[in-house]
Amino acid sequence: MTILALGDQLTRTVGPLADHDGRVLMIEARDFAHRHPYHPHKLALVFAAMRRFRDRLQAAGHPVDYRRTETFADALEAHFEAHPDDDLTVVRPASHGGADRMRRLVSDAGGSLTVVEDERFLCSPAAFDEWAGDRDTLTHETFYRHMRRETGYLMDGDDPVGGEWNYDDQNRETPPEGYEPPEAPTFEYDDETHEVIEWVESEFSGGYDEPPYGGDWADPEPFRWPVTREQALRTLDHFAESRLPEFGPYQDAMREDEWAMNHSLLSAPLNLGLLTPDEVVERVLDAYESRDVPLNSVEGFVRQVIGWREFLRHVYRREMPELATANQLGQTEGLPGFYWTGETDMACLSDVIDGVRRRGYSHHIERLMLLSNFALIYGVEPAALNRWFHAGYVDAFHWVTTPNVIEMGSFGAGVFATKPYASSANYVDKMSDYCSDCSYYKTKTTGEGACPFNTFYWDFLDRNEDELRSNHRMGLVYSHLDNKDDEEIEAIRDRATELRERAENDDL
């Protein structure tokens, strides 16, 4: 029996590789990587992490068939030619329909495949479905409390440690002038990882329908992500030791030139399997108990891992395939070209998109309140925005981005989001230092120089009035819209039309 280890299944501590000492098959298929204009750091991360995982397995005595082919089918054909009676076992692929596609490929190659459930997550499909039961609506907060009780993390008997389930009221601070978060960790890479980085740059640039990051013009920074378990553990230690204490209060803050703030940078190694959620949470709880790290920071992080991450995985599992194309507001605009270049006069989007271009990353509040928010109020089709996130971020996989982008960011389906996350420059100005140096006026909604976030915010409410006015959570904002007279509404519509034309001409 051979274990097929996919590129985001690089885990030996749990799952089939934990008690397997036989052959392992790993497949590096080029056509898969050519399908989307992926950020070169994302491809380098996956390929380098796979090859280093192969080295680790071999060092532990596993025979590893590491096949570099054009397609998965080519690799499977070669595998079954070499091992005609072999049975393959694979952990259920996270992408919708992935297990069925894999079964077909293996069957076409003349073999058989056993699919086992992914044990790395803290909540199994059966446990989630039992929790969901006949509930009309699935809310993250209810699930999160359930997970706290199930895992016992941050629990004091039946009660939450500290008396509250969440401390977000302490987590919306802005850092003082001149605040410098701890430097993000960097790593020394082996020769093969350097070769992968160079190979990706030469192999995967250009030739896509949408502008790629990986063209000559992209010029990303040097690659900086952990590709081995040791490097991933160092990232975890670094977070628990130095970034965690101020993670909570500043988790929603955005600062020009501070791309990481105090965020953990653990999503990529977690999603690849280099770390497991329980060890990440337990390391953070250890810091809480041994070093008296503030509870609001610890709880905010634990919620992301045992709550949000698990919740989204199951929402994706249950709501696909409809979720991928959900578009309940009927948004039809294409993604503005500056999402691929960062070339816009909007200081906030210019800086954050430039950071994505350079590193394949931005932190969660920039993703939600800048990138998704702007696309939402501009009217971008949710699937187009999802494709962009999927291609551009080192930690993006379909099961992660689809519920985050289509539902949370774009209010595409109404599965768990109860209102759209739409906001004007007010929010950006409150949580960032961008507006003071921007060529747009943060207080203007119409007329020359008016901030596009303001124009599109009101235009969004106006455009979607039929769908949104009856939403009880939107009552207050619609009462503000009602305060605008016809002349003002007309000026907003005109300005929105003008700004869309400018965006289409790369002049926003």
Residues that bind ligand SF4 (CB under 6 A): 346-348, 425, 428-429, 434-435, 438, 440, 442, 451-453
Q: How far apart are CA 416 and CA 138, in angstroms?
A: 6
Nearest distance from residue 480's CB to ligand SF4, in Å? 18
Nearer to ligand SF4, 5 or 348 (CB): 348
Nearest distance from residue 432's CB to ligand SF4, in Å? 7
User: Residue 177, class by beta-carbon neighbours within 10 Å (0-12 exposed, 13-18 middle, 19+ buried)?
Assistant: exposed
Nearer to ligand SF4, 113 or 347 (CB): 347
Nearest distance from residue 452's CB to ligand SF4, in Å? 6
Nearest distance from residue 487's CB to ligand SF4, in Å? 23
Nearest distance from residue 178's CB to ligand SF4, in Å? 20
Nearest distance from residue 453's CB to ligand SF4, in Å? 4
Distance separating the N- and C-terminal Cα atoms of the chain: 57
Q: According to the 3-state scheme, what is the secondary structure of 120-146?
A: CCCCCHHHHHHHHCCCCCCCHHHHHHH
Nearer to ligand SF4, 391 or 428 (CB): 428
Q: According to the 3-state scheme, what is the secondary structure of 76-92?
A: HHHHHHHCCCCEEEEEC
Nearest distance from residue 357's CB to ligand SF4, in Å? 18
CB 461 within 8 A of CB 469: no
Nearer to ligand SF4, 77 or 459 (CB): 459
Nearer to ligand SF4, 103 or 172 (CB): 172
Q: Which residue has the tokens 């080029």?
A: 30
Residue nearest ligand SF4, CB atom distance: 438
Q: Is the dihedral of CA 122, 127, 128, 132 positive or negative?
A: negative
Nearer to ligand SF4, 434 or 460 (CB): 434
Nearest distance from residue 347's CB to ligand SF4, in Å? 4
Structure tokens at 220: 């990303």
Q: How far apart are CA 283 and CA 311, in angstroms?
A: 21
Nearer to ligand SF4, 214 or 355 (CB): 355
Q: How far apart are CA 426 and CA 440, in angstroms?
A: 13
CB 370 within 8 A of CB 416: no
Phi, psi of 66 (to 5 degrees): -105, 110
Nearer to ligand SF4, 346 or 383 (CB): 346
Please count the other Cβ atoms lying within 10 Å of the Cβ belonging to residue 359.
21
Contacts of 483 (CB under 8 A, 6+ apart): none
> What are the CA-CA distances from residue 448 to residues 110, 367, 379, 444 (Å)?
66, 28, 21, 9
Q: How far apart are CA 141 and CA 154, in angstroms?
A: 15
Nearer to ligand SF4, 244 or 369 (CB): 369
Query: Of 72, 82, 83, which Cα lies nearest the Cα of 108?
Result: 72
Nearest distance from residue 98's CB to ligand SF4, in Å? 38
